[in-house]
Amino acid sequence: MAPESVIEAWFKKATKRIFIIRRLARWHFSKWRYFDYRPLLEKAGGWQNLLQDGCRSDTRILVPTCVGSQIGSTHLEAALAAALTLRGVSVDFLLCDEALPACMACEIGFLGNEKRIDDQQLSRLFCKTCFKPAASAYKTLGLRVRRLREGLTGEDIDQCNRAAAAIPMEDIRSCSTDGIRVGEQAYAGALRFFARGNLESSPASEAVLRQYLTASLITARAFTRLLESQRYECAVFNHGIYVPQGIIGEICRKHGVRVVNWNAAYRKKCFIFSHHDTYHHTMISEPIEKWENMAWNEHREQSLIEYLNSRRSGANDWIWFHEKPLPRIDPSLVLLGVDPSRPCIGLLTSVMWDAVLHYASNAFSNMLDWIFATIDYFKTRTHLQLIIRIHPAEIQGGLPSRQKVSEEICKRYPEGVPGNVFVIPPESNLSTYSLMEHCNAAVIYNTKTGIELAAMGIPVIVAGEAWIRNKGLSMDVSSLEEYIRILDRLPLSRRMCESAGRRAKKYAYHFFFRRMIPLDFFEPTGGNPPFRIKLNSMDELKPGASRGLDLICDGILKGSDFIYDDLIAKEPPASA
């Protein structure tokens, strides 16, 4: 064996051992992270009677967590299952039992580098610390834990493998089976795995994408058979996109099973729930009647202002990206070369790989196309200045991006961006909010920050699928031509008028205080997962103990809105 081959073999073994040690350590520490309900059940008594009553109930709820290594998800979904059982219904869990070759638990960061991707399934390195700990945690409740493999045979998996291998690479993203868009979810899952906005630069991209496609096909077959043999009123699960959750959602909708998706919200101890689909879609399509006629008063306005101010440091949030953002940015902008006498336009990016789904209203095929088109446009508007703020989560998020916006800009403009364009990198401690306050207007693609900017009175132009779209709060565009026409109006003569500003504040309040439902028996960890459950008694999950939990359970069981109204904010008379 050549010396370089010996070194390469040694390095491969060493990295594999390091990976195994990291995964074992993660599993070991996860054992105490999963919540054990047995002491509370023993103290409360009568749980077995509740389980028997649930078995006789006509209402059956499925909680298809599937990815058990998402410890935060198991905390919330176990608590929901217990709360629903206390309300007299039957609840089943569903976990993947090493059935899928790839899923959203697979992250390239744990592999170390792309050279470790070979012909074996990606999930082989992740499954051992996924199914068993979650299944053990769920079984402490005495509820049924179903397995994804229950309805599968070896021939089923072979057929899915052959089908995935037969589809041309260029057709994978758009492919479907029995009306289920398996290709879109597989593509989104592969992007998440690589933490990139496209698959063009990775030599392993086809192998990974095909594994996610195989996983999508297996999920579709297994879950379809489960719904053919079992009747459920509603399925409650995290996020609603990627593999396998995105596939599960589509099959539920096809079979007439109501879908409830949830995600951790920004505010501490709060969660967002949505009916029918992932909140990535429903927050855009939510009827404005849900909030535009909401009474507005000083209490609500002051609560909103205080919270928006706290967003600068993240003091009231689960997750934040800067410990000490610089509040005064004038000197820094001058050092960057920004001319304070000329109007500035802000551009806010998002993380490249996050939730890359199809939206019919997008003016551009992807975020990079939008960024490049905007830079090219400002090249001709030299009296304006474009300040591009790259999202801090690109390097500080739970899954750091491996495709950096700044690097893509450098590739596109090797000689440098135009002199009136300034790029603020993700590691900068300049406050995004302070930067945008210096701007005449802001242009966004899909960042949720647009909601806050509008509430601050800053005009917002939306070129992508941002949640502020279709609310009458922003300038929404659906084509390049429309986008250019709006940019031609810059700089704007004024900020948002008083009535528009109030409308923006109403929606911001609706989003941050009504759609984010508090559950006080969760507490922040400051790490990963960002929250854990803290229960002293099963009574805390009973009807009447938590308004937030009651609202969530009513939404699951009755289909009512997941909108939380603060009683304190209702008391004072509404302002005109």
CA-CA distances (angstroms) from residue 370 to 30, 99, 317, 443? 41, 39, 30, 10
- The pLDDT score that the predictor gives to residue 29 is 43
Please say which residue of 449, 480, 496 terminates a domain.
496
To which H or E segment does residue 147 belong? strand 144-147
Q: Which of 217, 241, 264 is the last residue of a domain?
A: 264
The answer to the question of residue 32 being in a domain is: yes
Residue 112 lies in a domain: yes
Q: Global pTM?
A: 0.89
243 plus 388 within the same structural domain: no
386-415 confidence digits (pLDDT tens): 999 999 888 776 678 888 999 999 999 999
Q: Are residues 93 and 231 in the same domain?
A: yes
Same domain membership, residue 111 and residue 17 = yes
The secondary structure of residue 354, as a DSSP letter, is T
Q: Are residues 41 and 167 in the same domain?
A: yes
Kindly state whether residues 336 and 411 are assigned to the same domain.
yes
Instruction: State how far the Cα of 555 lies from the Cα of 282, in Å rounded to an integer.
Output: 15
Asked if the structure places residue 411 within a domain, the reply is yes
**Which two tokens mark 160?**
């899915």
Please indicate, yes or no, if residue 378 is contained in any of the structural domains. Answer: yes
* pLDDT at residue number 182: 96
Do 114 and 230 sit in the same domain of this protein?
Answer: yes
The helix (run of H) or strand (run of E) holding residue 272 is: strand 270-275
Q: What is d(CA 543, CA 211) in angstroms, rounded to the nearest whole number?
A: 44
Structural domains of the chain, count: 2
CATH code for the domain of 414: 3.40.50.2000
Same domain, 332 and 246: no
In a domain, 49, yes or no: yes
> Position of tokens 């905390």?
75
Pair of tokens at residue 297: 């008063």
CATH code at 27? 3.40.50
Of 458, 473, 496, the residue at which a domain comes to its end is: 496
pLDDT at position 420:
97
Please name which of 507, 402, 510, 381 lies closest in space to residue 454, comparing C-alpha atoms: 507
pLDDT attached to residue 161? 95
**d(C-alpha 194, C-alpha 217), whole Å:** 21
Residues 350 and 212 reside in one and the same domain: no
pLDDT of residue 396: 73
How many angstroms separate the CA atoms of 243 and 253, rounded? 16
Q: Tell me the residue range of the domain where 477 lies.
A: 325-496
User: Is 255 inside a domain boundary?
Assistant: yes
- Residues 30 and 129 sit within 8 Å (Cβ to Cβ): yes
Q: Residue 428 falls within a domain, yes or no?
A: yes
Q: Side by side, which strands form the sheet with 385-389?
A: 421-424, 385-389, 344-348, 441-444, 460-462, 475-476
Are residues 345 and 221 part of one domain? no
pLDDT of residue 339: 93
Identify the residue whose tokens are 């009535």: 499
Do 257 and 404 lie in one domain? The reply is no
Low-confidence residues in the chain, pLDDT < 50:
1, 11, 16-21, 23-32, 568-573, 575-576
Q: What is the tens place of the pLDDT at every residue in 63-98?
A: 999 999 988 899 999 999 999 999 999 999 999 999
pLDDT attached to residue 109: 75
Place of tokens 């009306």: 179
90 three-state secondary structure: strand
Residue 422 forms part of a structural domain: yes
